[in-house]
Amino acid sequence: MAKPFEKFYLLNTDGSSLIRPHSPTLPDRSHVYVANNRVKGNRPVDIGYSISVVGLAARRPLYGVAEAPWNLPLSIRRQGIASQGHTFAARQVKDLVDNKELPFGAHLTVNASDRYYGSPEYIAPLYEQPHLVNTIRLTNNRAVWKALSIGEQEQRRANNSDQRGANAVYGEKYKLPEAEQWELPPDKENTFGVALSNGRRVLVQVQA
């Protein structure tokens, strides 16, 4: 399987809804989210199934190239009513990475997900995969904490007069809405251009 990107495979995990409101004999149907912008005031729900999808991005990110989006579905599973979405999706990704007939377990693989998957139930089961990097979008009202180095942990411990409790893990707090005010220069910075599906060209700036 050829890599669509030069140095890594790019997966993406997301959920979708399979609408079946007029099929009363189908088992285990439930209320599912569906965008509804046609009738003002209608609630964005319907009857059907929740589907979990892991796909492979098979397009090349070339600036200015009018290339149609293409996402190859690798795994599509129906999520049961009692299933927890985060745990269910993590197990689905893990099955793909552990599959010896696929290259993802032996090569650098990036898995992109939206903010729904930014939970311990999704991140923790995949953390031990040596070649998998999860890139998860955070909501813009979240906060992150700088990790303390071993030396900083020892300094915190030395300043703790009664020597009780576990070692400190979290350092300074950074609020995402205030990113422009952080006095924390990025370790790395990159800027590149992409062409959106509507033909619009934009510049993307990434700071790590």
b/e burial code for range 115-146 (CB count within 10 A of at least 16 → b): ebbbeeebeebbeebeebebebeeeeeeeeee
Distance from C-alpha of 112 to C-alpha of 118, rounded to nearest angstrom? 11
Residue 130 lies in a domain: yes
pLDDT per position in the chain (208 positions), as tens?
A: 666 667 889 999 988 888 888 888 888 887 777 776 566 777 777 788 888 999 998 766 554 444 566 788 999 998 877 677 888 999 999 999 999 999 999 999 999 999 889 888 999 999 999 999 999 988 888 888 888 888 888 888 888 777 777 778 888 899 989 988 888 888 999 998 888 778 889 999 888 8
For the chain, state the CA radius of gyration.
21
- SS3 state at 158: helix
Per-residue pLDDT, 80: 77
Distance from C-alpha of 46 to C-alpha of 64, rounded to nearest angstrom? 39
Per-residue pLDDT, 67: 59
Per-residue pLDDT, 64: 47
Residue 116 lies in a domain: yes
Residue 207 lies in a domain: no
- DSSP H helical ranges for 36-181: 85-98, 120-123, 150-158
Per-residue pLDDT, 95: 95
Residue 76 lies in a domain: yes
The answer, as to whether pTM is greater than 0.75, is: no
Residue 184 lies in a domain: no
Per-residue pLDDT, 36: 67
Per-residue pLDDT, 53: 92
Residue 84 lies in a domain: yes
Residue 72 lies in a domain: yes
Domain extent for 104: 1-20+27-137
Number of domain units in the chain:
1
Per-residue pLDDT, 66: 46
Q: What is the DSSP letter of 43?
A: -
Residue 104 lies in a domain: yes
